[in-house]
């Protein structure tokens, strides 16, 4: 999405390709283009982070369900009541 946004804004293909490597590279290329390019780069990277976060959340939820299904329940044995101490 970063490459598409930058090439649509007028960046050369090699510069747009290298801009996809990091946010800072994308912003450096976008700084040399019209104003809308910076917003497009920021939105593209934000979309990628959002998608990655959803994938991580789904993987965590799936892992929790697997653990819940497969982990045996451990019941604690009741502790014996203490005997009263005789006064005397």
Residue ranges per structural domain of the chain: 1-32, 35-70
Residue 88 has pLDDT above 60, yes or no: no
Tokens describing residue 55 = 């994938």
Query: Whole-angstrom Cα distance, residue 13 to residue 34?
Result: 16
Query: Whole-angstrom Cα distance, residue 13 to residue 6?
Result: 8
pLDDT of residue 41: 84
Global pTM? 0.61
pLDDT digits (tens, 9 = 90+) for 13-68: 787 787 777 788 888 888 888 777 888 888 888 998 999 999 999 999 999 999 98
pLDDT of residue 87: 66
């Amino acid at each position: 999405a970063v490459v598409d946004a930058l090439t649509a804004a007028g960046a050369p293909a090699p510069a747009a390709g290298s801009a996809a490597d990091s946010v800072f590279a994308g912003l450096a290329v976008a700084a040399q283009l019209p104003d809308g390019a910076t917003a497009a780069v920021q939105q593209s990277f934000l979309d990628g982070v959002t998608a990655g976060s959803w994938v991580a959340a789904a993987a965590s939820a799936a892992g929790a369900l697997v653990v819940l299904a497969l982990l045996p329940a451990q019941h604690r044995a009741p502790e014996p009541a203490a005997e009263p101490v005789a006064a005397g």
